[in-house]
Structure 1
Amino acid sequence: MWGILIALLSGALMSVQGVFNTELTKQSSLWVSTGWVQFSALLVCIAAWFFTGRQSIGTLARVEHKYILLGGVIGAFITITVIQSMSALGPAKAAMLIVVAQLAVAYLIELMGLFGVDKVEFQWRKLIGMAMAIGGIILFKWEK
């Protein structure tokens, strides 16, 4: 149950953040707003690190697969693409497409067992569920 609540909170925060970042970009620029978002996130992480345990930063140098260190780089591109999609499509349409893309890529990662994730068997019901989500987007976008 806790995981469900956290996932719902995450989705809600992503939508609010996307709207905030899009508006910030309109009032500044894409790279200024993206830089601010990443910098302010760094400050929050440093503060949290000071108050919650102070694990060794040196552990980063010992991670097994160095490509997993690219999460922050990917995060910058996530910020940029969310800003641009929300600006072009509006928050609701952009969020729906973002969620379906997340679902599709996450399922492919599971199916192929990529990045250390346990491999799962293909299930038609999951593919049908994804198709229904895409159908929901079409229905949501449909204008008379």
Structure 2
Amino acid sequence: MWGILIAVVSGALMSIQGVFNTAVTKQTSLWVSTGWVQFSALLVCIGAWVFTGRERIGELASVNPKYLLLGGVIGAFITVTVIQSMSALGPARSAMLIVVAQLVVAYIIELLGLFGVEKGAFEWRKVLGMAVAIVGIVIFKWE
């Protein structure tokens, strides 16, 4: 139950953040807005680190494989693409497409056992669930 609640909160925060970031971008620029998002996130992380644990930052040097350290780089491009999609499609359509893309890519990662994830078995019901989500997007977009 805790995992479901956290996932719902995460989805809600992502939608709100996307709207905020899009509005900031309209008043500044794409890369200024994205830079601010990443910088302010860094400040929050430093504050949380100071008050909660203070694990050794040097432990990052022992992370293997090294490509796992690209999460922040990917995060910058997530911010940019969310801003651009929300600006072009609006928050609801953008969020639906983002979620379906996340589902499809996550399922492919799971099926192929990519990036150290335990390989999962193919299940038609999961494919059907994604197809229903895609049909939902088509219905939602239908004018």
TM interval, short-chain normalised: over 0.9
Q: Does 1:55 align with 2:55?
A: yes
- State the alpha-carbon separation in 2 of the partners of residues 136 and 10 from structure 1: 21
Deviations 1:40-86 (A, max 9, x none): 00000000000001000000000111000000000000000000000
- State the alpha-carbon separation in 1 of the partners of residues 39 and 100 from structure 2: 28
- State the alpha-carbon separation in 2 of the partners of residues 33 and 24 from structure 1: 6
Deviations 1:6-33 (A, max 9, x none): 0000000000000000000000000000
1:123 counterpart residue number: 123
SS at match of 1:120: coil
2:45 counterpart residue number: 45
Q: Normalization by structure 2: what TM-score?
A: 1.00
Q: Structure 2 stretches of 5 or more lacking a match?
A: none
Q: Does 1:33 align with 2:52?
A: no
SS at match of 2:64: coil
Matching of residues 34-113 of structure 1 within 5 Å: 34-113=34-113
1:52 aligned partner, one-letter code: T
Q: Normalization by structure 1: what TM-score?
A: 0.99
- State the alpha-carbon separation in 1 of the partners of residues 85 and 64 from structure 2: 34
Q: Percent identity?
A: 78
- State the alpha-carbon separation in 2 of the partners of residues 17 and 68 from structure 1: 24
Q: Which ranges of 4 or more aligned residues in structure 1 deviate by more than 6 Å?
A: none
May I ask how many residue pairs the two structures share in their alignment? 143
SS at match of 2:119: coil
SS at match of 2:67: helix
1:36 Cα deviation after fit:
0.2
Q: Structure 1 stretches of 5 or more lacking a match?
A: none
SS at match of 1:136: helix
- State the alpha-carbon separation in 1 of the partners of residues 51 and 115 from structure 2: 31
- State the alpha-carbon separation in 1 of the partners of residues 96 and 39 from structure 2: 27
Deviations 1:87-128 (A, max 9, x none): 000000000000000000000000000001000000000000
